[in-house]
Copies of this chain bind each other. A is one copy, B any other.
Amino acid sequence: MKIILLSGGSGKRLWPLSNNSRSKQFLRVLTTPDGGKESMIQRVARQIREAGLTDEIVVATGANQLDAIGIQLGKDTAVVTEPERRDTFPAIALACSYLRSQGTSPDEPVIVMPCDSYTENTYFSTIGLMAKAVSEGVADLVLMGVRPTYPSAKYGYIVPAATPVDGEPTPVSRFTEKPEVAEAERLIAEGALWNGGVFAFRLGYLNEISDRYMPQASFETLRANYGKLPKISFDYEVVEKADSVAVIPYAGDWRDLGTWNTLTDELSDLTHGNVITDACTSTYVINELEIPVVCIGAKDFVVAASPDGILVSERKLSENLKHLVGDLGKRPMYEERRWGQYKVIDMVEFPDGYCALTKQLTINAGCALSYQRHNCRDEVWTIINGEGELVLDGERRTVSRGDVITITRGQMHTLRATTPLTFIEVQQGTNLVEEDIERFPFDW
């Protein structure tokens, strides 16, 4: 079997720890069985591995998550990036096209699942049963049905044709999307299950559906013409149109840690970082800044500080964030990249529109920036730790603490760290956008 992990998501609901480049599934805030820290996506990948389901995971995501996935799941993880953001059907179709291009049999069961559900191990044995049901031809499409614990109006409901038994496939009668609470109560009495967003099917089944849009297109062709695929969800395009659908119930823990309120329930420590609390109750304070956070007399709050901003929220009201931070995250102020990490430590715009942006960057030992140039900004780098090799307009030299490198617009440059290398970068110009970068191959 193959697993397609859907890794999407904006950085809004767990702002300021998440941002446009660091979505919630990449926050290393959960505790591993051995006491370490892991992110939601790392937890799901670990659970898949521990359940012995498969070693073959394909992550379907956007280009801005490529670095984060490589860092968290390993550089060799297969990642299929959408050339542009559309919806779940085209994203899954593209990943399935990739699997076909890799020679996967059309009869191979494929599981599509979210990368951020917080579940227990029986979730993964249920997934194993779903793949088995597909292999045995029980239905074209097998869904996971999560046993409802309350009549939620937030979820989609799967209504089975007969009373469902845990671990066994039952034919599906119909779907109901986000019903009113009273209707949800009636559905649950009928044996309805929540749609957990986990789907199983034969690879060929999905390839055939996408072939209707672009007959027998290769992966490269499909990717090049991605914009021609309809902007539609997998639920609407595939699930609701399928003739033969079965559901297997899952009765265990199933949570979305996508808001501060739900995430903090799973945190093992009340504070993280440079924090002092006094007279606080059920209050979580997470500080990724160097400066201290002092929190006094808060009850049921979450306080989070990062280079992107500062959140102070009553826990239950933290869902409001989604509507509030829409325009805040103009650019990420902290990013983990394949070569290391950076944070923006200062940003200033002068009355004439001229801007300066100062970063602290660390390149991991053995890693290098891309060979690049900027057309609208000059940069000054001051090395404050470590040693490395600089290439500036083709000339190589070693650099270390105290060295100052001035890079004017148009100059080609790259830097490779021999030991962990930290430097302060001052960018300046009239138009400081992240997109002002051209990358070129470089042979070290």
Contact = CB atoms under 8 A, between A and B. Distances in A.
B296 A333 contact: no
Contacts of A307: 291
The quantity of this chain's copies bound in the complex is 2
A9 B313 CA distance: 32
Contacts of A232: none
B333 A356 contact: no
Contact of A291 (B308, B317, B321, B385): B308
Contact of A426 (B312, B324, B378, B382): B382
Contact of A346 (B285, B401, B424): B424
Nearest to A310: B293
B328 A292 contact: yes
Contact of A295 (B279, B312, B406): B312
Interface in A279-331: 279, 285, 287, 289-298, 301, 303, 305, 307-314, 316-318, 320-321, 324-325, 328
A311 B294 contact: yes
A421 to B, nearest CB: 11
Contacts of A311: 293-296
Given A360-B348, A382-B380, A384-B356, A279 B320 contact: yes
Contacts of A324: 276, 278, 294, 296
A125 B14 CA distance: 56
Interface residues of A, number: 59
B294 A317 contact: no
B404 A404 contact: yes
Contacts of A348: 290, 360, 384-385, 422
Contact of A292 (B287, B309, B428): B309
Given A358-B345, A426-B382, A428-B401, A294 B312 contact: yes
A174 B279 CA distance: 40
Given A324-B276, A324-B278, A318 B292 contact: no
Nearest to A355: B384
A350 interface: yes
Given A358-B424, A424-B358, A296 B318 contact: yes
B295 A354 contact: no
A15 interface: yes
A347 interface: yes
A83 interface: no
A428 B404 contact: no
B291 A325 contact: no
Contacts of A303: 312
B426 A424 contact: yes
Contacts of A215: none
9 contacts: A279-B314, A279-B320, A290-B347, A294-B309, A296-B312, A296-B324, A346-B360, A354-B384, A404-B404
Given A291-B308, A296-B312, 11 more contacts: A296-B317, A296-B320, A297-B317, A297-B320, A301-B312, A345-B346, A354-B385, A356-B384, A380-B380, A380-B404, A384-B426
Chain A to chain B: the 5 pairs with minimum beta-carbon distance, closest first: A297-B314, A297-B317, A356-B384, A296-B313, A345-B346
